[in-house]
Chain A
């Protein structure tokens, strides 16, 4: 920790981010499950929901293409969960209290902590894209679209990691972070992740999906896969992710100040 005490903010961020990444890499369960589970669900849903592509107005003839956006979202949710869990463990284990005794800045702590989640977001997004291409999914927006897709997926991952960080700092308990996990999945299931919004028959569900920001994140990724360049869908997805990052980073900074003041 002497380097922490002596180093500049970027050096502190580098140290903490490196530690967070090593945590992720050394815990295979944190890497394998978040990557494999969404792919299994993608394979199952692609077969089970293929009949939906026969519906008039369904935007593509392959449910696999339609559903490829979902693993990116699930990967982001797992990144949020794991990042939050790691931070909560540091709080419960007293690591944060010890850091508070060093000249480390709060922004360095948050940025460093998010490094692990960001690393996981990049790795999982790359794997989902490669697997998607290997099993025959095309990217309608081409090579450039694939790069934008990766950028969007990582941005979304980062946004949810900020949310996980805020929850961990506010609650200070791994159990509380775990408790939020189902809520993340409720947001995913009550969105247009599995069915196009304009084909949802139940009005109340369509209304919930319309007001659910996750719908627009999914639709941003999906637009690159099935319809090519859609400026509005991309602007909405990047915009929502940016707002989430700004809001949850600010809330995380506030929660950290409150926690360190209590300490």
Chain B
């Protein structure tokens, strides 16, 4: 694989070799270059872009369309309607899977040898991880935007203000960052696409062990017990609060993002160290 995309002529994207004297400037330079490449690759190759858009869009259509009768269940209370209820879930899911798909891209970079050249070229390797994270966040924001437009076209009701929606986006980007750091840790340790299920399955299971279809009170059995302590529940409830204009669990979800983000950063840092040791 060529390094095409690191700094195309005339784009103004930073050059890895022209990093500033300070550590921060070097990190920023590397991060922006890697992010630009990730965004460029994601948005110019339909094979990369389509799955990350179609996957959440399909879930939105299938759940909001097929399961909307659930809003008639006794004790189901969500004033904005079932499409909005599912939009919140799909936003969080799209954010998380944006991170997972970026993990796939990192693994592919290792398989093709590009990541090793990147490790050699970068003056600050932490910037590589930040760059991948930024590209995942850009992808997530785009996909959420597409699902939002699709929802509005299909008559989805949004009771939250612009500020609420921006808060939802910020929270989703936080989720995306955590998922990227998680997938990065796996991709950099194993350095093969065969690790894809390891990146994907835990996040998939974590998301579905939350109140996906109905509010937490209506979830029964062992899933209810797990969901009460699942951070994904806090993300979903906060997202639904933003969509309905009645913010809830905001502090809890932000604390979860901070805590999980710190743990995931340590995990990704270990992965980077592993990749460095492997040479």
Which residues in A have some Cβ–Cβ distance to B below 8 Å?
Answer: 33, 40-41, 43-52, 54-55, 182, 186, 189-190, 194-195, 199-202, 204-205, 209
Q: Which of B54, B66, B75, B218 contacts A200 (CB 8 A)?
A: B66
Q: Which of B62, B205, B214 contacts A189 (CB 8 A)?
A: B62
Give 1 or 0 for each of B43-80: 1 = CB within 8 Å of chain A CB: 00000000100110011001011111110111110000
B237 to chain A, nearest CB (A): 15
Contact A205:B224 (CB < 8 A) given known A48-B211, A48-B212, A48-B219 = no
Give 1 or 0 for each of B176-218: 1 = CB within 8 Å of chain A CB: 0000000000000000000001000000010011011110001
Say whether A51 contacts B69, CB under 8 Å. Answer: no
Contact A49:B65 (CB < 8 A) given known A41-B208, A55-B73, A186-B58 = no
A13 to chain B, nearest CB (A): 33
| Minimum CB distance partner of A209 in chain B | B66
Say whether A195 contacts B66, CB under 8 Å. Answer: yes
Nearest 10 Cβ contacts at the A-B interface: A47-B223, A205-B65, A189-B62, A47-B221, A51-B218, A51-B73, A202-B65, A50-B220, A201-B68, A199-B69
Docked pose: A27 CA to B195 CA in angstroms: 16
Contact A52:B73 (CB < 8 A) given known A194-B66, A195-B66, A209-B66 = yes
Contact A49:B58 (CB < 8 A) given known A195-B67, A202-B65, A202-B68 = no
Docked pose: A71 CA to B221 CA in angstroms: 20
Say whether B205 contacts A40, CB under 8 Å. Answer: yes
Q: List 11 A-B contacts (CB under 8 A).
A: A44-B208, A48-B223, A49-B67, A51-B76, A51-B213, A182-B51, A182-B54, A182-B55, A190-B66, A201-B68, A202-B64
Q: Which B residues lie within 8 Å of A201 (CB)?
A: 68-69, 72
Docked pose: A204 CA to B76 CA in angstroms: 23
| Minimum CB distance partner of B209 in chain A | A44
Majority secondary structure, A binding face: helix
Docked pose: A70 CA to B89 CA in angstroms: 22
Contact A47:B219 (CB < 8 A) given known A41-B208, A186-B58 = yes
Say whether A205 contacts B66, CB under 8 Å. Answer: yes
Q: Which A residues lie within 8 Å of B223 (CB)?
A: 43-44, 47-48
Among A41, A44, A45, A190, the most chain B Cβ lie within 10 Å of the Cβ of: A44
A29 to chain B, nearest CB (A): 8
A142 to chain B, nearest CB (A): 27
Among A33, A47, A49, the most chain B Cβ lie within 10 Å of the Cβ of: A47
Q: Which of B214, B222, B224 contacts A49 (CB 8 A)?
A: B214
B49 to chain A, nearest CB (A): 15
Say whether A48 contacts B213, CB under 8 Å. Answer: yes
| Minimum CB distance partner of B194 in chain A | A29
Docked pose: A46 CA to B219 CA in angstroms: 9
| Minimum CB distance partner of B212 in chain A | A48
Say whether A55 contacts B211, CB under 8 Å. Answer: no
Contact A52:B224 (CB < 8 A) given known A189-B58, A190-B62 = no
Contact A55:B214 (CB < 8 A) given known A44-B223, A47-B222 = no
B72 to chain A, nearest CB (A): 6
| Minimum CB distance partner of A190 in chain B | B62
Q: Which B residues lie within 8 Å of A51 (CB)?
A: 70, 73-76, 213-214, 218-220
Q: Which B residues lie within 8 Å of A195 (CB)?
A: 66-67, 69-70
